[in-house]
Amino acid sequence: MRKGVHYPHYIKCMLKRKAILWKCWRLSKALDDKQAYQAIAIDCRKVISKFHAARKLALIRKNNLGSFYKFVNSEIQASMTAMTLKTCEGAAVTDPGEQAVSDRVT
């Protein structure tokens, strides 16, 4: 089972603020609330991407091959488990064994 990402306090505060602004916008439907929500959403997206980039850079600078391979394997595993293929009949196939055997996957 994969554990969630533990963000620092300043990111958690930004996410809480974003949730509050989203709720205000949903209740009031005011243009000012929408713009405030969109601004904080962009800021959150930037801060989170910078956080992940810094973590990856710290992992590379750590110069520990084992932890690097562990990270890469977890990224590969996460992307492989989310893959869904469709057969010619339109049925979704998520089991890797069925995907490997099935020759009618589009």
- pTM > 0.75: yes or no: no
C-alpha R_g of the chain: 20
Q: List pLDDT tens digits, range 13-33.
A: 999 999 999 999 999 999 999
Residue 91 reports pLDDT greater than 60: yes
Domain layout of the chain by residue ranges: 9-101
Q: List pLDDT tens digits, range 37-62.
A: 999 999 999 999 999 999 889 888 88
Which is higher by pLDDT, 65 or 100? 65
pLDDT number for residue 1: 45
**Per this entry, what is the length of the chain?**
106
Q: What whole-number distance in Å separates Cα of residue 21 and Cα of residue 61?
A: 38
* Alpha-carbon distances, residue 97 vs 76, 87, 106 (angstroms): 17, 14, 16
